[in-house]
């Protein structure tokens, strides 16, 4: 079974960005999803944001099931019934390592999840009603 994480950013009632990522957890490992090898710079440029790698990216041994690894797979902008592809070629070998990441869940309840990402971003997510 493959896990899919879908992120939707709504600009209006009919316009949105939808980005899909393949996900891997300790319970549902994804073989192709290995740790990042590089910090995310492409040809020396910080194009997609710099990620923690190596020791700085080590998983918290006190919370062994709190990490979700992901690799962005595809995306598109939806404008009503019209859509266009997201401009980053996620599946390209040139970008594949750079579009990998992880989030560590630091708090989880029935209504909210707080997580920290591989670039240091803190996410506060509220479940939709």
What region does 67 belong to: left with phi over 0, alpha with psi -120 to 50, or beta? Answer: beta
pLDDT at 11: 93
pLDDT at 15: 96
Q: How many alpha carbons lie under 13 Å from residue 10 in its C-beta half-sphere? A: 3
Per-residue pLDDT of the chain (129 residues; tens, 9 = 90+): 678 888 889 999 999 999 999 998 888 888 877 777 766 666 666 665 666 666 666 777 777 678 888 899 999 999 999 999 998 888 888 878 778 888 889 999 999 999 998 888 898 988 877
pLDDT at 48: 59
pTM of the model: 0.73
At a CB cut-off of 8 Å and minimum separation 6, what does 33 contact?
Answer: 22, 23, 24, 69, 70, 71, 100
pLDDT at 126: 85
């Amino acid at each position: 079974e493959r896990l899919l994480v879908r992120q939707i950013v709504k600009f209006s009632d009919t316009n949105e960005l939808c980005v899909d990522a393949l996900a891997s957890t300790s319970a549902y490992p994804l073989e192709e999803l290995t740790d990042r090898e590089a910090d995310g710079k492409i040809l020396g440029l910080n194009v997609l944001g710099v990620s923690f790698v190596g020791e700085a990216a080590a998983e918290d041994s006190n919370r062994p099931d709190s990490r979700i690894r992901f690799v962005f797979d595809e995306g598109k902008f939806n404008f009503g019934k019209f859509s266009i592809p997201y401009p980053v070629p996620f599946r390209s070998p040139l970008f594949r390592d750079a579009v990998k990441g992880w989030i560590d869940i630091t708090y989880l309840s029935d209504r909210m999840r707080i997580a920290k990402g591989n670039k240091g971003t803190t996410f506060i997510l509220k479940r939709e009603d």
